Structure 1
């Protein structure tokens, strides 16, 4: 494209030279018309060749741009997205997903625009200036120096004015982006605006933002208009100056008619090419700014990377071990300090504790969304940092509390768990997750689109699709984060039975706020400020009368309260009733006391008050 566009520009600027040669031949012929064809043959052929070359070379460059432009933009988009995929969870949490996607699109487009500006704008102008001044040097030295001085001054001033105008153009673009953001926010919350009778208020807010945008745009346009004043004034100087100087040289006999025509024609072509140079500079700086912003946002060092010695690993048994783990999200903040824990293969473990106690951090470390500052996390004796992240995540199944679906069909969303699964396997997984019933009632069945993040489905339906996806994945380690919290009690009971079946033979970690959902697990870990303060089965922990007993007794409506009661704080009547009810259930359940003995305080067992008895 550089070669073709350079040839196109050279052909265009050499046309005045061909015309000058024709005039020179005509001048030599004078009034004699005989033999004009032979005399004009060479300059006419040159003119025709240059005219055809201008068309052919420009369209050849345009064809290449048409073919390779989208491919080049796609390559940049693909590379940026691939780089973004390997950013850590911390990075993704600190940035809006929409803003990151916008940056990728904006940067890839700006890279294209920079290349086209260089190839199709600046490079042809450089060819035009260079060839023109070279031809003028052949015609007359002083005339060439005059045009050269004008060209240098024009380019330098255009560059300087563009740098002065750039901040105003950036401010105008930011104001337009802010208007778009405000408009999207208002449209997104239109339902709330209607319910609160604030439609007029939202229009008023938009008017205020439009006024801000108008001021910024007018300021930018005014500076751009000043640049145009300079462009037109400079063009007039070149037109008048070249014409006057060429006439003076001709009148003195220093140049002929052909050189006079050449000089005036070249000046007009130079003006035509250079007139919009300042505007191109403004756009060029804007494109550079877009790429710069994209690079600053996206191209940061990856926090979590596969080590050079990392290899794809295989999890066969699912034994998990935390060894001397120290971890904090930020410097000076410690979540875990010297955490040691072993979970045997096939064990089903529940994690409980108040918000902020470390349950989610424990799971995030196991998923390697973050790396500990010290210590190791092993699965089947393998340090997970020595496994590639893809191979690790391929063998861990997670059902989050708030599942997010792709804006694709239900079939695609479930099959995401195992892409080679057949349609029959997908349907079977949906049946196990009790999703088949509502899917079958939808208009397009399994081919129905679920909307962005699954907004067309209810919370319980999204959770059932997420459960079906993990059932289909069939990973050896299963992690459930309040996996049934959005379900009604009947569906929850049915799915709980399915999950119990899916847990068979797997290592399972369950985060729960409703303790009744984990009471049947093999083991329960009680977290408190990053420490495991209790470890045992449901019956063992109740019998100790410690933290878990207090959590179990203090549940309101089956859920943990958000924060533990402060020392000496009076408890509500509901919490007191829950405690008394739990103690009664503990006393009445023979499973907690196989010998039928009365509770013994020396073993940490609860002693019922006389009134309760």
Structure 2
């Protein structure tokens, strides 16, 4: 897995904002309510300084016109109290509205991203760390919450206060308005430049290493049985320590840059504050401002200073949110690899005939094709074995039937229907598969057996388990079919996992069955019972058996011998064994060491 990431660009930020805007568009009314409440609440911060200035001027009249002073002071005070109360109520309303807005978006994003990742191609999953992908999704999901808070609860009121305050000051004192406007622009520009060009690259890289840490943890913990088997705990500790050390260095650089950027922003704020105070004193000296006006200016500045200071933090939070969402957005921009055709329809499989018609196929960027013009027909109900050395094309053959990959030429037909024109869900639901290494969910045995047929009754699940010779060991468990099997079925033996996978396939009752040496993990006592059950199951179905032990294909109707992507022999066991120079006979002799006994 590569850890080198491109530096954040405007296009990346634009992609994140566009992604967020699409989710906002689903909740326009809620968004408008939150934004409107926050903007109205912010009006108090704009006008309270004005009335505080009027209050000071009223107090200065106390020596000459006490009644007038009291009246004006009370009016200013009442206005300040009303504005404060309105601010509290509106801000509460806005913040309350943020809860369903953000949680709704986070829910949609988690579900939609999971749905998309689930449908990525087999190649994509083979080249991705599950732990890293989970980290991208969860980190990006929480970044949405921070992005909403930053934009709606922080930057929106900050921008409103800065613009409204500048206008109010400029109306009375153009010079003061110019100082605030220019100072705010310089500060915001400095903050944005530092955040996007100085901090963001470092933050992007530290996020990539954070993802790597998650992937390394998941990789080691998911293979803990192997770690224990080889006493490799110290090696895995060292492996993680190396990754965490890189993460620490990258994160430290990011945090140092945050600190240096903050210091630079405070220098700009100090300059603005000093300039504004000097201009206020100058206006008072020239008689263009009363003490109340100066109080208004200074109070306004303190408000503006607070918002400006927070703008720096908000811009950094915004950039951090964008960085953390970027990997999530990239998942949504990643091509699906294998997707349903726009006019795809559910496939209807009855006989189960499988035909490869001049199929060409090569993996990814490989220049050498595995298949060139491969044509073969498997009749409905025919039981066919696939044999050959590792890498000869057997597994690819069945993966193409399931459309886990798309052919690069020709077509694959099932009962005359092109699989590329069928919906993937309908195709795979009609093809049952038992892999050589069965994978179970950390769920109950009943749920694992019934996975391919949602809604199956417990008696149907038990019947499938009996056919797979699994019912007896399940019945001996304290919780029976309600027993949790552990992550990937770790609580069961290899043979038990294989029998659960067989039971799952029996329950599906699909017209096409693929067995990848389904008895390889069974003990000798169970194997005979399973072989008999499989023989019953195969009747009336198209069965494709990938054989590693050639003794398992002797009774099949037909055997296809693969060699470097070509079918070099085709026929039943007896016919193939009569060819003294045949590849199948050679493979069989290698395994048995006794040709006459095998015959």
**Band of TM-score, shorter chain:** 0.7 to 0.9
Tell me which of the two structures has the higher relative contact order, counting C-alpha pairs closer than 8 angstroms and 6 or more residues apart: 2
Residue 328 (structure 2) pairs with residue 308 (structure 1) = no
Which residue is 1:140 aligned to? Answer: 173
Residue 408 (structure 2) pairs with residue 373 (structure 1) = yes
Which residue is 1:454 aligned to? Answer: 489
Residue 567 (structure 2) pairs with residue 532 (structure 1) = yes
Structure 2 CA distance for partners of 1:12 and 1:449, relative to 1, 3 Å: farther
Q: Which moved more, 1:182-191 or 1:518-527?
A: 182-191
Which residue is 2:288 aligned to? Answer: 254
Provide Cα deviations, 1:65-95, integer angstroms capped at 9, x if missing partner: 1122111111112222222233222222222
Cα distance in 1, alignment partners of residues 509 and 531 from structure 2: 16
Provide Cα deviations, 1:398-423, integer angstroms capped at 9, x if missing partner: 11111111121111111112112111
Which residue is 2:519 aligned to? Answer: 484
Three-state SS of the structure 2 residue aligned to 1:364 is helix
Pick aligned residue for 1:21 from 46, 54, 58 = 54
Structure 2 CA distance for partners of 1:214 and 1:513, relative to 1, 3 Å: closer
Q: How far off its partner does 1:126 sit?
A: 0.4
Structure 2 CA distance for partners of 1:375 and 1:461, relative to 1, 3 Å: same
Q: How far off its partner does 1:555 sit?
A: 0.7
Q: How far off its partner does 1:96 sit?
A: 2.1
Gaps of 5+ in 2: 1-33
Q: How far off its partner does 1:436 sit?
A: 1.7
Residue 476 (structure 2) pairs with residue 463 (structure 1) = no
Three-state SS of the structure 2 residue aligned to 1:323 is strand
Structure 2 CA distance for partners of 1:543 and 1:225, relative to 1, 3 Å: same
Which residue is 2:199 aligned to? Answer: 165
Q: How far off its partner does 1:478 sit?
A: 0.6
Three-state SS of the structure 2 residue aligned to 1:160 is helix
Which residue is 2:3 aligned to? Answer: none
Tell me the TM-score normalised to structure 2 length: 0.88
How many residue pairs match? The answer is 563
Three-state SS of the structure 2 residue aligned to 1:397 is strand
Tell me the TM-score normalised to structure 1 length: 0.86
Q: Is the 8 A contact 1:553 1:583 kept in 2?
A: no
Three-state SS of the structure 2 residue aligned to 1:416 is helix
Q: Is the 8 A contact 1:176 1:213 kept in 2?
A: yes
Which residue is 1:129 aligned to? Answer: 162
Provide Cα deviations, 1:320-352, integer angstroms capped at 9, x if missing partner: 111111112144221122122111111111111
Which residue is 1:400 aligned to? Answer: 435
Which residue is 2:469 aligned to? Answer: 434
Q: How far off its partner does 1:35 sit?
A: 6.1
Q: Is the 8 A contact 2:131 2:218 kept in 1?
A: no
Cα distance in 2, alignment partners of residues 298 and 308 from structure 1: 19
Pick aligned residue for 1:283 from 292, 295, 317 = 317
Residue 400 (structure 2) pairs with residue 387 (structure 1) = no
Provide Cα deviations, 1:364-392, integer angstroms capped at 9, x if missing partner: 11111112122121111112222211111
Which residue is 1:270 aligned to? Answer: 304
Three-state SS of the structure 2 residue aligned to 1:350 is strand
Bigger radius of gyration among the two: 1
Structure 2 CA distance for partners of 1:217 and 1:333, relative to 1, 3 Å: same
Structure 2 CA distance for partners of 1:372 and 1:173, relative to 1, 3 Å: closer
**Root mean square deviation, CA, Å:** 2.5
Structure 2 CA distance for partners of 1:379 and 1:172, relative to 1, 3 Å: closer
Q: Which moved more, 1:221-230 or 1:170-179?
A: 170-179
Three-state SS of the structure 1 residue aligned to 2:578 is helix
Structure 2 CA distance for partners of 1:199 and 1:407, relative to 1, 3 Å: closer
Which residue is 1:10 aligned to? Answer: 43
Gaps of 5+ in 1: 557-577, 587-613
Q: Is the 8 A contact 1:320 1:343 kept in 2?
A: yes
